[in-house]
Amino acid sequence: MDIKHILEYQRQEEMLVKAAILAYVAAELAKSNYRGFYVGCSVLAYNGYYYQIFTGINQMDERGGIKICAEQQAIGNAREAGYLQIIAITVVGNCQRDGTSGHYSITLHPCGGCRRYCSAFSGVSSETIVLTVRIDNPKIREEHTFQQIVLLHNVKTWKEIFSSRISSVYSQFKLLISRYSY
């Protein structure tokens, strides 16, 4: 990652945490999740000239309803404003076991869906900083790169999933052809 982005992240780190905490509080006040599990997210984004912070909250109106993650909403807000490079992602919430990997950490990491979403979006690089903060004690934090988060949860990216499916289909196709060739 470019040193100017790292310096800007260090300068804005506390503001990112405060913005994510405010987003968490907004989610809680809006009762945005039917099961009472709230997440706030802020991202530090860059448009080639300027840095800006965008926020998002998780939303789920009812059991089986459409789930919108805070990370996806914050990144979507940045993209909509023309900020296509994500320097840092800050996630604030209570801990829970990861539904995809089963991993339990001391802070709330982006879920499997968010990890796949970020993998598919070119604005989030392997070097994007992911800062996770506990809502009950904001001094408890973890800082990783996006690549470290993906490896920690050992979850394949969309590209890996897609390429493995293509090779599987290709193998099945070769088998089928071999059966009917003389």
What domain range includes position 24?
Answer: 3-157
How many domains is the chain partitioned into structurally? Answer: 1
In contact, 56 and 32? CB cutoff 8 Å: no
Asked if pLDDT for residue 162 goes beyond 60, the answer is: no
Asked if pLDDT for residue 107 goes beyond 60, the answer is: yes
* 24 within domain boundaries: yes
Asked if pLDDT for residue 164 goes beyond 60, the answer is: no
* Partners of 90 in the β-ladder: 42, 131
Distance CA 74, CA 131 (A): 14
pLDDT the model gives residue 102: 87
Q: How confident is the model at residue 165 (pLDDT cuts 50, 70, 90)?
A: low
Distance CA 56, CA 152 (A): 24
Single-letter code of the amino acid located at 168:
S
Which residues neighbour 22 within 8 Å (Cβ) at sequence distance 6 or greater? Answer: 40, 55
39: domain CATH number?
3.40.140.10
* Partners of 129 in the β-ladder: 88, 145
pTM, two decimals, is 0.82
Distance CA 88, CA 110 (A): 13
In contact, 123 and 85? CB cutoff 8 Å: yes
Q: How confident is the model at residue 23 (pLDDT cuts 50, 70, 90)?
A: very high
Distance CA 53, CA 45 (A): 6
Cβ count near 173 (within 10 Å): 10
pLDDT the model gives residue 148: 95
Question: How much is the average pLDDT of 149-177?
Answer: 65
pLDDT the model gives residue 34: 83
Q: How confident is the model at residue 182 (pLDDT cuts 50, 70, 90)?
A: low
* 69 within domain boundaries: yes
pLDDT the model gives residue 100: 87
* 21 within domain boundaries: yes
In contact, 130 and 59? CB cutoff 8 Å: no
pLDDT digits 0-9 by tens, 24-83: 999 999 888 888 899 999 999 999 999 999 999 999 887 777 889 999 999 999 999 999
Strand ranges for 49-167 from DSSP E? 51-57, 85-93, 124-134, 141-145
Residue 56: name the closest of 79, 39, 33 by CA: 39
Residue 94, SS3 per DSSP: coil
* 181 within domain boundaries: no
pLDDT digits 0-9 by tens, 169-181: 666 666 666 666 6
- The proportion of the chain whose per-residue pLDDT surpasses 90, expressed as a percent, equals 68
pLDDT the model gives residue 63: 79
In contact, 119 and 111? CB cutoff 8 Å: no
